[in-house]
Amino acid sequence: MSCFVLLLPGMLFAQNVKKLTLQEAIQLGVENSKNLKLSQNKIDEAMARLEVIKDNALPTAKASLIYNHAEIPTNQLIIGDASPLFLPKRADAYLATAAVEQLVYGGGKLRYAKESTRLLSDVARLDADQSKEEVSYAVINTYYALYKVAQSKKVVAQNLASIASQLKQAQRFFEQGIVTKNDVLRFQLQQANITLTDLEIESNRKVVNYNLDILLGLSEDTEVEITDPAGEGMGVAPLSNYMEMAMANRQELKGLDLRNKVAELDIKSVKANTLPTVGVGANVYYINPSGSFIPPTHQYIVPMTLGATLSWNIGTLWTNKNKVTEARVQQRNVVIQKEILTDNVKTDINKNYQNYEVAMSKIKILETSIAQATENDRLLESKYKNNVASAIDRIDAETLLYQSKINLEIAKADAGIAYYTLLKSTGKISQ
């Protein structure tokens, strides 16, 4: 029991650490996204609307029962020279009706309504796909942001270890009379500045980690342990490939194509207003004037009718023309919107492609600069030990080296974000 109590805090802490790869984080974010749940609800709403439209094709049926009770205080009726007619003091009557009607032909408006609603359901699915892309991209951005601060913190920790070693060396040189007290103070000041930088990075890490917890639907005190996302399938294809992928995959373009089809159906539906409609129906009547709920034989009648209705609003032949024109103008708006969006997509892809190329070039330049900074740091370390270089030169060389290392890690993360930004502009992050 004592061992268990001693190990319990460590066990509890371990439960709040979750190691995730980038793809695992994306999957978790998609599964727990509240925006995607809202998008799914919109799809369900569209499908329910489609079922409602389908129900309109079913026959309608109505039934009613009427009961009348009459009090007749003046029940004697004399007409001319005829004998008086005596009516009852009161009377009861029952009237029941049942009717079934079916629209046979309505100009095709019901069919157009079903097709239009089905297309709008597909639009809702495309909107959900687009929301999924947005959620994935938000997770990627936050994941890389956490990677940036984690790598920066790692480099700063190496810098602190190095400056501590330099400080001990400076203090030893001071005791031997090789350097002045001022050199020791300079190393101590450098150590304090790096410590402050480490505190700022840790604060940023906590903020980014909290944001990632919220995005992934994790407990807010979960420490996310990330893996190096750099180089995960980041092979870049020619620019034309991404243009073709965007034209085929962008949800907004697909959505406008579907809305264009909906607009065509709207035009047909408006034109159908000028066509006649045909319906059939059957009616059953139950008439019981006897006053008894269950009447005697031959004191009630049950007439049944069958009928067909042909109706035609002839006035629509000249009043419907402007409505058709309005529907066509709305369709042209959709076509123009797609043309504008297509141009914007192309410029967006070109910009993101160039940004990725620049990001990769930065990595190569920084790798070269690190090699140069490493050699410069090694030379100045040797000169400082031989009392040829000053403490300022030594500190500057070391600062330049570790800043270059931080810049390289940030550049790698920026390249990763640029790559996924390029994929996002094609409409599909996971290629």
Separation between Cα atoms, residue 410 and residue 146, nearest integer Å: 11
pLDDT at 306 over 80: yes
pTM summary value: 0.77
> Pick the residue with more confidence: 10 or 367?
367
pLDDT for the residue 4: 54
- Closest residue by Cα to residue 119 from 323, 283, 257, 305: 257
Give the residue-averaged pLDDT of 79-98. 82
The 10 Å CB-count burial string (b at 16+, else e) for 160-178 is bebbeebbebbbebbeeee
pLDDT at 13 over 70: no
Model confidence pLDDT, tens digit, residues 126-162? 888 888 888 889 999 899 999 989 888 888 888 888 8
Tokens 């406008």, located at residue: 256
Confirm if 249 and 428 have CB atoms less than 8 A apart.
yes
Kindly report the CATH class assigned to 19-58+106-276+312-425.
mainly alpha
Model confidence pLDDT, tens digit, residues 33-77? 888 888 888 888 888 888 888 887 788 899 999 988 888 888 778
Which range, of 100-104, 152-156, 407-411, averages the lowest pLDDT? 100-104
- Spatial neighbors of 271 by CB under 8 A, at least 6 apart, are 320, 324
Mean pLDDT, all residues of the chain? 85
Confidence of residue 431 (pLDDT cuts 50, 70, 90): low
pLDDT at 351 over 90: yes
- Closest residue by Cα to residue 249 from 422, 31, 45: 422
DSSP H helices, 102-237, are: 109-175, 181-216
- Spatial neighbors of 241 by CB under 8 A, at least 6 apart, are none
pLDDT for the residue 159: 85
Confidence of residue 120 (pLDDT cuts 50, 70, 90): confident
- Spatial neighbors of 324 by CB under 8 A, at least 6 apart, are 267, 270, 271
Best mean pLDDT range from 138-152, 206-220, 341-355? 341-355
Give the residue-averaged pLDDT of 324-346. 93
pLDDT for the residue 345: 93
Best mean pLDDT range from 115-124, 149-158, 386-395? 149-158
pLDDT for the residue 365: 93
Give the residue-averaged pLDDT of 14-26. 82
Confidence of residue 12 (pLDDT cuts 50, 70, 90): very low
pLDDT at 223 over 80: yes
pLDDT at 230 over 70: no
Separation between Cα atoms, residue 194 and residue 183, nearest integer Å: 17
In the chain, the N- to C-terminal Cα span, in Å, equals 53
pLDDT for the residue 231: 55
